[in-house]
Amino acid sequence: MNYKEAMEFVQNTNKFGSVLGLDNIRELLNRLGNPQNQLKVVHIAGTNGKGSILAFLAGVFRESGYRAGRYVSPASFSYEERFRINEENISKEDLCFHMEKIKKVSEDMVRDGKSHPTMFEIETALSFLYFLDKKVDVVLLETGMGGRLDATNIVEHPICTVIASISFDHMQYLGNTIEEIAGEKAGIIKEKCPVVSYKNSEEANQVIKGKALEKHCPLTFVNEDGIRILSESLEGQSFTYRSSSGRWYEKIEIPLLGRHQIRNAAAALEVLEIVKNYYCISAFQTEEGFRKTIWRGRLEILQKDPLILCDGAHNPDGASYLADFLQKNFTNQRIVYIMGVLADKEYEKMIAKTAGLADCIYTVAPDNGRALSSRQLAKAVRKYHSRVYERDQLAECLKEVKRTAGKEDVIVIFGTLSFQNEL
């Protein structure tokens, strides 16, 4: 199988849609030898913050000399980015090698009267095969959606599970209340496996506590009262942290922007305290790992003079984080938005949280089959803002905005992670 054939096979699986449940992934992995059972896994669910927490952990493991496999979906810049070891994407050769195995097994499943695996199930299986083949020391595994019925939840014995922020997203699949959504996220909690969680709303916290108690799991909440911010700038942030166990971190520096990233970093610190039984990680390696963390497209500065920011905020919670950051850092500057969204997102709530900070808003449609048209988005934005301009393509729109922007202006590109591979 060559690369073109591998990509055609993956794309053809789009017709099977998104199917929640573990029966199919269990059958697929059984036929592949259950590679997931031979890996040490940190499993994380949440509405926002999953990828950032995994990025911090990956940075520390890398700095400590370990090989950390990281599986995330969707990818932002290339298909191979879904499967990474430290900061290196899977090679096309390795991708084709493992995809060929999966294609054969998928065809066997259909011949035996089983359902064909979905795209996400295939990619999840490939990640396990690849990471086992490369003998990684740890797998940092992010759920695709929800948790309880997510294909990644096939992992039976993770070394730690993590619940990041919980808010409204994917309600058509996960439920219409915070309790229902939290129940789906908490579905990754396994018997006697340590759990680290944000302090979410009281309703969500109670669900997580209940699941941890049911599964006899030690539960650690991020100690938000133990965070003290030392510095904040467009170059990065630093903070001290007293962990839930009482351990004191005198100065943690992170390059990622926004106060929500400090919470994500604190969650990663709590995870590291739990997994120290499996790995030897020094205080210096921890500090260096956080300081060198890379996670693109999250309040990422693309250019200065004028300042151009790209942020992956794609739900109301993410929009709130973005608005807080802009309000804190650019109170007296002109802000211009270039915004695009997917049609199945709560974009009206995102607009309501962010529109008031912008001088004007340009709308474009992301290069994604689920995209909302520029015209439809502009119509929604006009309910909250009078200066709205429809444009066709992100690249051309950005050129236009840059031509008319002053040196002190701030250009913010946001609304979907799909934008990142268009820049």
User: Percent helix, strand, coil in the chain (nearest 5)?
Assistant: 45, 20, 35
| Last-in-domain residue among 262, 291, 320 | 291
- Residue 74 and residue 219 share a domain: yes
Whole-number Å distance between alpha carbons of 5 and 100 = 9
- Residue 160 and residue 11 share a domain: yes
- pLDDT at 60 exceeding the cut of 60: yes
Phi and psi angles of residue 376, each rounded to the nearest 5 degrees, phi first: -65, -40
- Residue 241 and residue 336 share a domain: no
- We report the CATH number of the domain holding residue 317 as 3.90.190.20
Question: Higher model confidence: residue 145 or residue 53?
Answer: 53
Percent of the chain whose predicted confidence (pLDDT) is above 90:
78
- Residue 259 and residue 139 share a domain: yes
Whole-number Å distance between alpha carbons of 194 and 218 = 5
Whole-number Å distance between alpha carbons of 211 and 265 = 24
Low-confidence winner among 114-123, 177-186, 279-288, 399-408 (lowest mean pLDDT): 177-186
Phi and psi angles of residue 149, each rounded to the nearest 5 degrees, phi first: -110, 10
The pLDDT assigned to 363 comes to 97
Cβ burial of 23 (10 Å; 0-12, 13-18, 19+) is exposed
Q: Give the total number of structural domains in the chain.
A: 2
Crossing angle of the two packed helices 347-354 and 316-329, in degrees rounded to 10? 10
The amino acid at residue 412 is: V
Q: Which pair of tokens denotes residue 294?
A: 């890379």
The pLDDT assigned to 398 comes to 95
Domain that holds residue 308: 300-422
15-21, long-range: CB < 8 A, 24+ apart: 16/115, 16/116, 16/117, 16/118, 16/119, 17/118, 18/118, 18/120, 18/145, 19/115, 19/118, 19/121, 20/145, 20/146, 20/149, 20/150, 20/173, 21/149
- Residue 400 and residue 310 share a domain: yes
> How confident is residue 171, by pLDDT bands cut at 50, 70 and 90?
low
- Residue 274 and residue 194 share a domain: yes
- Residue 308 and residue 286 share a domain: no
Whole-number Å distance between alpha carbons of 201 and 235 = 31
Q: Which pair of tokens denotes residue 338?
A: 């270039």
| Last-in-domain residue among 244, 272, 291 | 291
| Last-in-domain residue among 221, 256, 291 | 291
In order of 47, 68, 119, 131, 348, the CA distances from 150 in angstroms are: 14, 22, 13, 19, 27
- The rounded mean pLDDT for the chain is 92
- Residue 216 and residue 165 share a domain: yes
- We report the CATH number of the domain holding residue 286 as 3.40.1190.10
- Residue 417 and residue 400 share a domain: yes
CA-wise closest residue to 298 among 68, 76, 44, 87: 76
- Residue 317 and residue 245 share a domain: no
> How confident is residue 20, by pLDDT bands cut at 50, 70 and 90?
confident
At residue 135's C-alpha, the angle toward residues 133 and 138, to 5°, is 120
Average pLDDT, integer, range 2-20: 87
- pLDDT at 87 exceeding the cut of 90: no
Q: Which pair of tokens denotes residue 108?
A: 């066997």
- Residue 127 and residue 157 share a domain: yes
pLDDT tens per residue, range 375-394: 999 999 999 999 999 999 99
The amino acid at residue 422 is: E
Percent of the chain whose predicted confidence (pLDDT) is above 70:
97
> How confident is residue 295, by pLDDT bands cut at 50, 70 and 90?
confident
The pLDDT assigned to 38 comes to 97
Question: Higher model confidence: residue 13 or residue 192?
Answer: 192
- Residue 77 and residue 11 share a domain: yes
Q: Pairing mode, if any, of strands 88-89 and 83-85?
A: antiparallel
> How confident is residue 237, by pLDDT bands cut at 50, 70 and 90?
very high
Say if CB 133 and CB 69 are below 8 A apart: no
